[in-house]
Amino acid sequence: MMAATFEPNDADRDPGELRLRNWLWRPWYAKLWWSGVPAYWLGMLAAIRFDGLASIYHSAFGGYLNIVFFPPVMALVLSFGFLKRWLASLPALENDEFDEEEYWRKRRLGPSGMPKEVDPLEPSSGVFWLGSPLNPLNPGYINRGS
């Protein structure tokens, strides 16, 4: 019987392609940091039984380590390089220009293409918004004046 081998199908990928896993796991410091997570949390679990470990985990240094070995914080810190390169690769206008007319045109219109002030689908249109309790088209509208 032949042993099954796993070979990733990365032959068709560009080696310079941005991949999040290249920042989250590939560097040596990321591997060291991720391997420290189970050791830290298993130590915290063992601190339930051993008072010597509990004193470490209840100290200020233990609180610092709790933040350092919290997986979402680690993922955020390790993905910073990826985010930086990804944002740099996005297309930009020449000479860092800003198309102000396009920006204000998009900001002026609501979701249905009408001006925001009268668009019934735009919450910032006040009483014209369908969800406003002051709009007569809202099922919860109560005419208190009559």
Task: Provide mean pLDDT across the span 117-142.
Answer: 71
Q: In whole angstroms, how far apart are CA 28 and each of 10, 15, 80? A: 21, 19, 16
Q: Is the pLDDT of residue 118 over 70?
A: yes
* Interior/surface letters 81-96, b for 16+ CB within 10 angstroms, e for the rest: ebeeeeeeeeeeeeee
Q: Beta-carbon neighbour count of residue 101 at 10 Å?
A: 8
Token pair for 59:
């100290």
Reported as a single tens digit per residue, the pLDDT across 48-99 is 999 888 999 999 999 999 999 999 999 999 999 889 888 887 666 666 666 6
